Structure 1
Amino acid sequence: MKIFRPKDRGYAQALQRLNRRAIPDPAVRATVEEVVAAVATEGDAALIRYTEKFGGPKLEVGQLYVTPAEIVAAQASIDKETRDAIKAARTNVRTFAKKSLRKSWFTKNKQGAVVGERFDPFPRVGIYIPGGTAPLVSSAIMTCALAEAAGVPEIVAVTPADKEGKVHPALLAALAACGTHEIYRVGGAQAVAALAYGTKTIRPVQKIFGPGNSWVVEAKRQVFGVAAIDLLPGPSEVLVIADKWANPEWIAADLLAQSEHGHGSIAVLLTDDAELIEKVGKAVDAQVKLSQRPKQLAEALAHTTLIQTKDLDESIRLANEFASEHVSIATKRPGEIALQLNSSGAIFMGGISPVVGGDFLAGPSHELPTGGAGKSFAGLTADQFQRRTSVVMFDEPSLKASVPIIETFSKIEGLDAHGRSASIRVQKTKKAAKKK
């Protein structure tokens, strides 16, 4: 853990580092370029080769697809408590998702032409579910349930298998509960490439969703254009804004919860209260001893930073510069601060609101922008599974009213064929009327 106070050397530099940009590592970029190119040209053979090379199981082509029998067995093997948790989370996420879906609409413009927007689900989407250090069952729900709510006809999931080639039964059960149609036991950049370019086993998709490590995120960046992507969510982040009224043990718990994801995870505390920093530091040390994932916490704690700011206004400014995936506001008046935040992936108002509530259950998807991307990207919503199409329909009166304006623009831009393509329709109508 690092602690910075206004009087410390390096304080200004520590604050400056909070204003960041998501720039891919050159080594990661080069490796992913190799993997993507190989999968695009070799298909399943490259998919299997890189899965084994990067520490996954040695698979045959016929083992990539998770069979219905495996899914049924997985559903039967999980206990009632797990089934109920999956159901509760899916219900909340799906209900929230339905509220954010866009609806088709039509109206008439000033000249009388019918205009509008039509929103249809993508025909086939691919969803990446991380499975490295833990089976992220919640990620399956926070992505696939949105696709299901949007009515996507073909939902395809890819997720890494363990050394024996197995996918955690709770993860399979969650994917099935959220309407997933195809599941493949493959992860990493090679899985993203397969979704984009397609292989003999995995047909290509129109859009790719889901969080992942730096290789997965870079693969999504590189296949953009071959397929659409949702956003570039990387390692987990949390930033807490707190004042003297905050509970230090609760803050420590939130910092450690996100740090638990391990390598690359970032946790930051911004507070104007010097005593709170000391109390949070001690609470973190005490709670680390209770963890069942000490290795992952040790990696992440190297990126944990506690900063004493001059006042809450400075905390707000720094929070907007950092653009954290999660922002917890543990202050006496959280609403006043929330209104001033403009780059957060998700805001948790009040110390009583644990970030993990959003991770697992509350309703909004936990797939959120990281690495400073929150300044430009929002979190995953159900309407991102919809494709927009604009609709225009003229009749004779509305076209006649529009032609003079169309011809004016055609003259300005020197595109006479444009104007003629509209006026010719009116002229034909007039000629037809004279003949009668």
Structure 2
Amino acid sequence: MKQFMDIIENPARLDWPALMERNITDDREIERAVGEIVERVRCEGDAALHHYAMKFDGVRIETLELSEQECLEATENVSDSVKHAITQAARNIGKFHAAQMPKTVDVIPFPGVHCMQRTVPLQRVGLYIPGGRAPLFSTVLMLGLPAKIAGCKEIILCTPKGADGRIAPEIVYAARVCGINRIFCVGGAQAVAAMAYGTESIPRVDKIFGPGNRYVTKAKQLVSRITAIDMPAGPSEVLVMADTTARPDFVAADLLSQAEHGPDSQSILVCQTMKIAQDVAEEVYRQAVSLNRVSIVEESLEHSRIVVLPTREDMVDFANAYAAEHLIISMEKPWDIAADITAAGSVFIGNYSPESAGDYASGTNHTLPTGGWATSYSGVNYDSFVRKITYQEISREGLTELADTIITMANAEGLDAHAAAVKIRIK
């Protein structure tokens, strides 16, 4: 049997960590190179951006920001079918994220004490959209729509020009659908640095969002000391849980749809029997050889695997420990399994919920934590674009009633000025 994926049958729990390792190299040369790029952009501004556009993309940029005319011309080059698909996806994504808007919290926890929490949008956010082999116009929707719904005052977008000297027209059209009017022809680590520090053309932002390669990821980590970022992110990944009710051809298609993202992506299958494992492995090979990006898929599958675990409990424990970016549950009573999942970026329930639906059009967000960060980070959502501010108003009577509690606690912590701030008011 020809196959691309290794099968590991019933491994001991001590061996699980090795099976969960991601294909993430600790490349000090990348950190050094990105550090140099970030520092040059910080010091030289636009001049550095022009330099790196020529060095890395082979493109001479006359003006960093797309003009209104260029935007209009780009949108005219998008087919009607793609425009329709973007519009339908935007409708679903917008509806799901609008439903996340919170209510103002307004509470009187004690007579004379009034506490509130209000949601306030970030003022200026920066979105990074990769270009290259697969310009991700779907990510424009995933980031731009919740930013607009949250009420961010200014949304800017950075994306590189391709070898033809143009930005993908689908990216421009998706930006227009989201109400984004400022698009800059800048890519890579230099775009992240520009949004973090600001240049003559690109304004400094309050938070940076968006995926990218290892250089972009490292740049986001470096600038997170001075500006917020959405989350730690690395190569994309999927984990599929399958029992005898799963369709091997469906499962294989899901594993491959993730593997084609890039050679460092990872696809994991956790299943109950060797028969399922072998059937899926055969399907993966059969489907992979006909794909356009088969060479990328083969590289990705070199560090992907199939793990056979006979009990549902072991499967759930493995999934929670792996903390997948995307988790697909193709099992009997999948919602019961999902109730026990405590770490995942986004969960896909049942045989007819492919991960690609969440990538494009179901409504949920596809910007998700990778590399095990789903144990502590959420994916991008409405809350990613807002801050919560608390308020309190206390009457003299309310403070008098609380005084003993505050003074006792302040004195116990050795902070007598805190206690004095109460005492002086209730004399």
Shift of 1:419: 2.1
Shift of 1:24: 4.9
Q: Which moved more, 1:221-230 or 1:410-419?
A: 410-419
How much is the aligned-residue C-alpha RMSD, in angstroms?
A: 2.1
Provide the secondary structure at the position in 1 that maps to 2:156.
strand
Q: Distance in 1 between matches of 2:346 and 2:10?
A: 31
Aligned residues: 424
Shift of 1:244: 1.7
Shift of 1:93: 0.8
What residue number does 2:20 align with? 18
Kindly indicate whether the alpha-carbon contact (under 8 Å) linking 2:23 and 2:265 is maintained by their aligned counterparts in 1.
Answer: no
Deviations 1:100-132 (Å, cap 9, x if unpaired)? 123322222224221111111111000111112
Provide the secondary structure at the position in 2 that maps to 1:426.
coil
What residue number does 1:164 align with? 164
Shift of 1:76: 2.1
What residue number does 1:6 align with? 9
Provide the secondary structure at the position in 1 that maps to 2:57.
coil
**Closer/same/farther in 2, CA of residues 29 and 144 from structure 1, 3 Å limit:** same
What residue number does 1:33 align with? 35
Give the TM-score of the pair, scaled to structure 2.
0.94
Q: How does 1:270-419 map to 2 (within 5 A)?
A: 270-419=270-419
Shift of 1:195: 0.6
**Closer/same/farther in 2, CA of residues 200 and 339 from structure 1, 3 Å limit:** same
Kindly indicate whether the alpha-carbon contact (under 8 Å) linking 1:56 and 1:160 is maintained by their aligned counterparts in 2.
Answer: no
Q: Distance in 1 between matches of 2:193 and 2:146?
A: 22
Shift of 1:198: 0.5
Shift of 1:85: 0.8
Shift of 1:15: 5.5
Kindly indicate whether the alpha-carbon contact (under 8 Å) linking 1:122 and 1:386 is maintained by their aligned counterparts in 2.
Answer: yes
Q: Distance in 2 between matches of 1:24 and 1:181?
A: 37
Kindly indicate whether the alpha-carbon contact (under 8 Å) linking 1:128 and 1:211 is maintained by their aligned counterparts in 2.
Answer: yes
Q: How does 1:99-248 map to 2 (within 5 A)?
A: 99-248=99-248
Provide the secondary structure at the position in 2 that maps to 1:369.
coil
Kindly indicate whether the alpha-carbon contact (under 8 Å) linking 1:244 and 1:276 is maintained by their aligned counterparts in 2.
Answer: yes
Q: Distance in 1 between matches of 2:10 and 2:285?
A: 24
Shift of 1:5: 3.0
What residue number does 2:425 align with? 425
Q: How does 1:35-54 map to 2 (within 5 A)?
A: 35-54=37-56
Kindly indicate whether the alpha-carbon contact (under 8 Å) linking 1:220 and 1:229 is maintained by their aligned counterparts in 2.
Answer: yes
Q: Which runs of 4+ in 1 moved over 4 A?
A: 10-15, 19-24
What residue number does 1:59 align with? 61
Kindly indicate whether the alpha-carbon contact (under 8 Å) linking 1:20 and 1:322 is maintained by their aligned counterparts in 2.
Answer: no
Q: Distance in 1 between matches of 2:180 and 2:359?
A: 20
Provide the secondary structure at the position in 1 that maps to 2:208.
strand
Kindly indicate whether the alpha-carbon contact (under 8 Å) linking 2:5 and 2:305 is maintained by their aligned counterparts in 1.
Answer: yes
**Closer/same/farther in 2, CA of residues 21 and 296 from structure 1, 3 Å limit:** closer
Shift of 1:84: 1.1
Specify every segment of 5 or more residues in structure 1 that has no aligned partner in the other structure, as ranges: 428-436
Kindly indicate whether the alpha-carbon contact (under 8 Å) linking 1:2 and 1:306 is maintained by their aligned counterparts in 2.
Answer: yes
Specify every segment of 5 or more residues in structure 2 that has no aligned partner in the other structure, as ranges: none
Shift of 1:312: 2.8
Q: Distance in 2 between matches of 1:411 and 1:331?
A: 58
**Closer/same/farther in 2, CA of residues 7 and 269 from structure 1, 3 Å limit:** closer
Q: Distance in 1 between matches of 2:22 and 2:366?
A: 21
Q: Distance in 1 between matches of 2:23 and 2:383?
A: 26
Kindly indicate whether the alpha-carbon contact (under 8 Å) linking 2:326 and 2:355 is maintained by their aligned counterparts in 1.
Answer: yes
Percent of residue pairs identical: 36
**Closer/same/farther in 2, CA of residues 357 and 381 from structure 1, 3 Å limit:** same
Kindly indicate whether the alpha-carbon contact (under 8 Å) linking 1:211 and 1:232 is maintained by their aligned counterparts in 2.
Answer: no
Deviations 1:2-51 (Å, cap 9, x if unpaired)? 3223379x996466331669785323222222211111111112222233
**Closer/same/farther in 2, CA of residues 327 and 129 from structure 1, 3 Å limit:** same
Q: Which moved more, 1:217-226 or 1:298-307?
A: 298-307
Shift of 1:413: 2.5
Q: Distance in 2 between matches of 1:120 and 1:114?
A: 19
- Counterpart residue type for residue 132 of structure 1: G
Q: Which moved more, 1:323-332 or 1:408-417?
A: 408-417
**Closer/same/farther in 2, CA of residues 304 and 3 from structure 1, 3 Å limit:** same
Shift of 1:176: 1.1
Q: Which moved more, 1:413-422 or 1:88-97?
A: 413-422
Q: Which moved more, 1:88-97 or 1:210-219?
A: 210-219
**Closer/same/farther in 2, CA of residues 393 and 24 from structure 1, 3 Å limit:** farther
Kindly indicate whether the alpha-carbon contact (under 8 Å) linking 1:21 and 1:371 is maintained by their aligned counterparts in 2.
Answer: no
- Counterpart residue type for residue 425 of structure 1: R
Q: Distance in 2 between matches of 1:21 and 1:297?
A: 14
Q: How does 1:255-270 map to 2 (within 5 A)?
A: 255-270=255-270
Shift of 1:382: 0.9
Q: Distance in 2 between matches of 1:357 and 1:293?
A: 20
Shift of 1:77: 2.2
Provide the secondary structure at the position in 2 that maps to 1:39.
helix
Give the TM-score of the pair, scaled to structure 1.
0.92
Kindly indicate whether the alpha-carbon contact (under 8 Å) linking 2:121 and 2:150 is maintained by their aligned counterparts in 1.
Answer: yes
Shift of 1:139: 0.7
